[in-house]
Amino acid sequence: MISTSKHCSILSFLIALAVLVGTATICLTASTKEAMRAAETSQDQKNLQKKLDSLIIDRMEFVDTPVQPIVNWIRMRSKELDPKGGGINILLKINPQNAESIPLITMDFKNISIGEIIRYVCLNCKLKYKIEDYVVIITDDDSMKDKSVVTAANKELQKKLATLIVDNMEFEELPVSECFILIVGKSRELDPDKTGVNIFLQVSKASMGKPITMSVSKIPLQSLINSICQATGLDYRIEKYAIAIFDKEPANKSPDTQKGYIK
């Protein structure tokens, strides 16, 4: 026969064991829920990124426009393009003290994703952006991780640069910025689908005004761009939707990817 004291000890042990098992189950359940919640958050961000990449704007053109109206326009166009009508939520968080120093935007693009437009706007205005669960945040907060990464080169764009042949072009003491505007226009004339190439000028004001005197004929578009860059100390990079033109930095210094003027 088990004594009363031993019976109480066994009962106490069983109760304690049940409590521990219950606590472990609760902890396991909580951890599982947190993991599921994290997975859901990650999927929401992936869905938003997919929408940023897949919604393509056929034409956008702004001249000396503040960033806020452009963000409003992008938000509106995203709703028009989204089959579900939800569009993309964009939150512009700018310190009021910095608002007046943000440069105006001049942009003329064809067939470009909304994600790339946001990236170029941020480069132009020295801003950063972050993709959250349901919103893209554009801000001047230096503590935010910069998402302005360079995308992979587009084979279709490379093909256009190699196959679009300029019969004849002449520049006489023409600023670099105006030369590239003319090249964009010429590319659209030559392109069978009339979309041409987009050029993003990510250069200093001094470089924008450098004069070019040049006469070319029977030259591929890429060779023309390369010649202008060599003549003015600039460089270029083929991205997914545009050719980025930027100031060539010394060999021991990495390019400043935050300078930008969009044409």
For 39-90, the pLDDT digits (tens) are: 455 688 888 999 999 999 999 999 999 999 999 999 999 999 999 888 999 9
pLDDT of residue 44: 81
Q: Is 155-247 in CATH node 3.55.50.30?
A: yes
Fold matches, 1-149 and 155-247: yes
* H or E stretch at 160: helix 155-163
The predicted pLDDT at position 146 comes to: 59
- Say which residues have a Cβ less than 8 Å from residue 173's Cβ, sequence separation at least 6: 211, 212, 213
Task: Tell me if the pTM is above 0.85.
Answer: no
Percentage of the chain exceeding pLDDT 90: 53
pLDDT the model gives residue 145 = 64
Residue with tokens 């939707």: 241
pLDDT tens digit sequence for 128-142? 999 888 889 999 887
Strand segments (E) across 52-97: 56-65, 90-93
Contact 48, 88 (CB under 8 A): yes
CATH topology of domain 1-149: Phage tail protein beta-alpha-beta fold (3.55.50)
pLDDT for the residue 74: 96
Question: 3: pLDDT confidence band, cut at 50, 70 and 90?
Answer: low
Q: Domain residues of the chain, as ranges?
A: 1-149, 155-247
pLDDT digits (tens, 9 = 90+) for 148-190: 556 667 888 999 999 999 999 999 999 999 999 999 999 999 9
